[in-house]
């Protein structure tokens, strides 16, 4: 299942501060979000200038989901190996 994060343009950002360009201070997840160590994930970023209803916006959307292709093809071991020194 994919997890989506929407970040909106930070209009309070100035050139001299260290605030983020985009942020969201009201993130609420509908379900628990669990990321498992050793599992490959696909992370994608979209920049949007309008909402689905056509309203102008300045936001980015981030999608995170397990990369089921790599997992199903067996290219990635899903268990930690004892021979890896870190």
7-65 pLDDT, tens digit each: 999 999 999 999 999 999 999 999 899 999 988 999 999 999 998 899 999 999 999 99
Residue 26 in domain: yes
| pLDDT value for 68 | 81
pLDDT at 81 over 50: no
Tell me whether residue 86 is in a domain.
no
Residues listed for the chain: 86
Does 13 map to a domain? yes
Residue 83 lies in a domain: no
Which residue range forms the structural domain that includes residue 18? 3-72
**Count of structural domains within the chain:** 1
Residues 86/42/79/72 CA torsion (nearest 10 deg): -150
Q: Is residue 77 part of a domain?
A: no
- Please name the residue that has the structure tokens 């200038």: 49
Q: Is residue 82 part of a domain?
A: no
């Amino acid at each position: 299942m994919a997890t989506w994060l929407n970040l909106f343009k930070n209009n309070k950002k100035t050139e001299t501060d260290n605030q983020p360009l985009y942020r969201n201070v009201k993130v609420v997840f509908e379900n628990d979000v669990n990321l498992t160590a050793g599992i490959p994930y696909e992370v994608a970023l979209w920049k949007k200038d309008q909402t689905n209803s056509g309203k102008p916006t300045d936001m980015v959307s981030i999608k995170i989901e397990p990369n089921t292709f790599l997992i199903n093809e067996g290219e990635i071991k899903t268990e930690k190996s004892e021979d890896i020194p870190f």
